């Protein structure tokens, strides 16, 4: 019997390359999700066209039209909930989220961050990794909580940092890994294997994750 597909909503602010990876994985039958909508806070986000090309509904909710983050997040929650998602996927959504927003979607919102969390939370992760002479860098998929980039990490991919790397070169190497691990973590959630436990930890296949799982760059 065919597996039912988990309804999701994807939030973006930019190019939407992780969105494309999710769209492609779903189209190949590797990801049992139904992308009900792609929502952006920027009308010029390239990812909106990616969604339209795939026949996915798009919405723009411009944050500059709201007086406060709280007002914006309330409107965004109302918009998201119209689509009744089982999971909210942040894919380059460049907004700080209010506590009320993260509580509303507790346990059903994932994010991908371009670093090996807890290292390099926030912005400019690739430049910071190079400046601090890090040996390795990477990407992390985590549940979203009120703490910026601080929710339980589920899955990571690691890449080496080369001595002659520019931030752009390192970013490109990390982005390839983001496109591999994000659909995988979403698939675990959609299959009912992944959840956020009442203990605040991520649980996979009935066991708490005391440390993130790691997918090395060379693994398939």
- Going along the chain from its start, the domains and CATH numbers come out as 6-216 (3.40.50.170)
Q: How much is the average pLDDT of 76-89?
A: 98
CB 36 within 8 A of CB 85: yes
pLDDT at 2 over 90: no
pLDDT confidence band for 216 (50 / 70 / 90)? low
Distance CA 206, CA 184 (A): 17
Active site residue 179: no
- Comparing CA positions, the residue from 111, 72, 54 lying closest to residue 88 is 111
Report how far residue 77's alpha carbon sits from residue 72's, in angstroms, rounded to the nearest whole number: 9
pLDDT at 33 over 70: yes
What is the pTM assigned to this prediction? 0.95
Which of the four pLDDT bands, split at 50, 70 and 90, describes residue 159?
A: very high
Does pLDDT of 38 surpass 60?
yes
State the Cα–Cα distance between residues 130 and 179, nearest whole angstrom.
Answer: 22
Indicate which residue of 104, 113, 142, 179 is catalytic: 113
């Amino acid at each position: 019997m065919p597996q039912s597909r988990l309804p999701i909503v994807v939030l973006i602010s930019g190019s939407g390359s992780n969105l494309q990876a999710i769209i492609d994985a779903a189209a190949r039958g590797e990801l049992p999700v139904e992308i009900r909508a792609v929502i952006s806070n920027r009308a010029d986000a390239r990812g909106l066209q990616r969604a339209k090309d795939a026949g996915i509904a798009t919405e723009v909710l411009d944050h500059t039209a709201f007086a406060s983050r709280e007002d914006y997040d309330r409107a965004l929650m109302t918009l998201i909930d119209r689509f009744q998602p089982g999971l909210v996927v942040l894919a380059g959504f460049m907004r700080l989220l209010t506590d009320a927003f993260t509580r509303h979607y507790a346990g059903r919102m994932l994010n991908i961050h371009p670093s090996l969390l807890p290292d390099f939370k926030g912005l400019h992760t690739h430049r910071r990794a190079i400046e601090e002479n890090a040996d390795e860098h990477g990407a992390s998929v985590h549940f979203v909580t009120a703490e910026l980039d601080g929710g339980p990490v589920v899955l990571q991919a690691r890449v080496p940092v080369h001595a002659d790397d520019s931030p752009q070169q390192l970013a490109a190497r990390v982005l390839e890994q983001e496109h591999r691990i994000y659909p995988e973590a979403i698939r675990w959630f959609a299959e009912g294997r992944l959840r956020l436990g009442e203990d605040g930890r991520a649980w996979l296949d009935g066991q708490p994750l005391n440390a993130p799982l790691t997918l090395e760059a060379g693994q398939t």
